[in-house]
Structure 1
Amino acid sequence: MNSRAASPVPGLLSAWQHVQNALYYLHVALATVVIGLFGLPLLLRHGRAGANRVATRWIGYMLWAAKLHLGVTCEVRGTPPTEDCIIAAKHQCFLDILVIAHAVPRRAFIMKKEVMHVPIMGWYARKVGCIPIDRAKGRDAMRAISSEINQRIAGDGLGQLIIYPEGTRTRPGERRPYKHGVSTIRGATGLPVVPVAVNTGLFWPRKGWGIRPGRAVVEFLPVVPPEVPAEGFVPRLEAEVETHSDRLMAEAGFRAPAI
């Protein structure tokens, strides 16, 4: 594994910041229940369109609460896609999930099938078009996902499928090899791929505790040209996402240690 471990963001959280972190999570937990339950008529009456309307409100509320309690604001750069596509993003924390999902109109994720059975969250995940994956099935799972995507494209459309090629959250300055699942789906579906760079991990740690105030940035980059061949696609994607993420982190004052 090629990994650059980052220096921690300097400074300790004050006691009040710990309280604010706790208040934020309590606030959004209650809001999730309230918004989810009150949004059920929209979900039941309007299906995916209704579920997306509720999801947009819920995510927007969580981002507003992050600003209120934690002093975290978010900037979106570039042009978020509105057509069927794959969004291949750097993943540092829960915050980048929220910002990317809020920026696009028909967000969808590939997620563990168990999550689809969670009350409220699972109901909406299924309705907005999230695709379950059974990781125990290995390559068969990827073929099933590609087939499901093509069926949805042929139906009412896929939306913006958000994928994290590293497969896990990474610390600022850390790099993990990009997995080839995104290339497999691209090849099987012909969908355009939109890279996304982030610096969110500077303010919102991987495990979600110890959040610090600041301006987090998520940047939508130009679509990877369709003429890029399969064998060169993942290296091209990785270079673009990592280079631009490093630039965003440097703008915020972060410097990764020398290897």
Structure 2
Amino acid sequence: MLQWIRSILFIIQATITLPLIGLVFAPWAMFSKRGAYAACHTYAGWVIWSAGWMINLRCEVRGEVPEGACIVPSKHQSFLDILMIFHALPAAKFVMKNQLRWSPVLGQYATKMQMVFVDRGKRGAAITKMLADVEAGQREPGQLVIYPQGTRSPPGSKMPYKVGTAVLYEQLGQPCYPVATNAGVFWPRRGLYRRPGVAVVEFLEPIPAGLERDAFVAKLEQQIETASDALLAETGVAHLYGQDK
């Protein structure tokens, strides 16, 4: 019961803090992409820090965090893994659903930070425009975060890897830093309960540019799924997701 109370209070304060930080940073963020990044890093850091003492959920980043231009295909289980990855990367640029462009606070800040908005079925066109903008000097390169499975997937589930990440890998010619996570165990897609423990996002061994498409997809899936299963096993509750401890 105590953890339920803590969870609800945590969610309330995190929800209230988002517009407050957005408002405080607005004068800077309106005219500066650096200000927009500072606001979002502040919010992500606040949520990560407050999770530690409010709900006994510690957040841990493992592996080599990239700093230069690269692709970051990530397992996506929870809003928490978004915050952890964003907070860890110096210049994260997420591939986002176009509907989020119109979300209060989030949409305005994401636009200022030059996130890549895509319509369903039109991801290729959005990526092509992004590449053209980079070449024209209208968009600064960064760490492009994309979800190879296209959506959130529950811990332990096996969903197909879509071709979009491989196409992006071929187009950009950049190294790829896969990311595994177990964040969905502690912060589920639905519900108010937040489980105490250690949520991890792990940057895995980079995949160099230049692999053929099939080899790249096979290596990407093998790395992310194997590492995510190992992180799930660390939680001690893998049996709740159809896996042995």
TM-score, shorter chain, exceeding 0.5: yes
Does 1:33 pair with 2:19?
Answer: yes
Which deviates more from structure 2 when the two are superposed, residues 142-151 or residues 241-250? 142-151
Other structure's SS at 2:95 match: strand
- Find 2:112's aligned residue among 127, 131, 144: 127
Residue deviations 1:62-115 (CA, integer Å, cap 9, x gap): 111222321111111111111111111111111111111110011121222221
Cα contact 2:116–2:127 (8 A) shared by 1: no
* Runs of 4+ with >3 A deviation: 255-258
Cα distance, 1:188 vs structure 2: 1.8
Any residues of structure 2 matched to 1:41-56 within 5 Å, and which?
Answer: 41-45=27-31, 47-56=32-41
- Find 1:144's aligned residue among 125, 138, 156: 125
Aligned CA-pair RMSD: 1.6
Cα contact 2:173–2:210 (8 A) shared by 1: no
1:162 corresponding residue in structure 2: 145
Cα contact 1:74–1:216 (8 A) shared by 2: yes
Cα contact 1:77–1:218 (8 A) shared by 2: yes
Identity %, equivalent residues: 39
1:209 corresponding residue in structure 2: 192
Cα distance, 1:220 vs structure 2: 0.3
TM-score by length of 2: 0.91
Residue deviations 1:9-33 (CA, integer Å, cap 9, x gap): xxxxx2x222222211210121111
2:82 corresponding residue in structure 1: 97
Cα contact 1:86–1:163 (8 A) shared by 2: yes
Q: Quote the Cα distance in structure 1 between the aligned partners of 2:199 and 2:49.
A: 13
Other structure's SS at 2:178 match: strand
Higher RCO structure (Cα 8 Å, ≥6 apart):
1
Q: 1:23 to 1:175 in 2, by over 3 A?
A: same
1:252 corresponding residue in structure 2: 235
1:240 corresponding residue in structure 2: 223
Does 1:71 pair with 2:56?
Answer: yes
Other structure's SS at 1:194 match: coil
Which deviates more from structure 2 when the two are superposed, residues 63-72 or residues 231-240? 63-72
The number of equivalent residue pairs is: 239
Cα contact 1:129–1:158 (8 A) shared by 2: no
Other structure's SS at 1:193 match: coil
Counterpart code for 1:209 = L
Which deviates more from structure 2 when the two are superposed, residues 225-234 or residues 80-89? 225-234
Other structure's SS at 1:31 match: helix
Q: Quote the Cα distance in structure 2 between the aligned partners of 1:174 and 1:67.
A: 27
Cα contact 1:94–1:208 (8 A) shared by 2: no
Q: 1:206 to 1:106 in 2, by over 3 A?
A: same
Cα contact 2:19–2:105 (8 A) shared by 1: yes
Q: Quote the Cα distance in structure 2 between the aligned partners of 1:163 and 1:22.
A: 30
Residue deviations 1:184-229 (CA, integer Å, cap 9, x gap): 1111222221100111122121225221100111110121122321
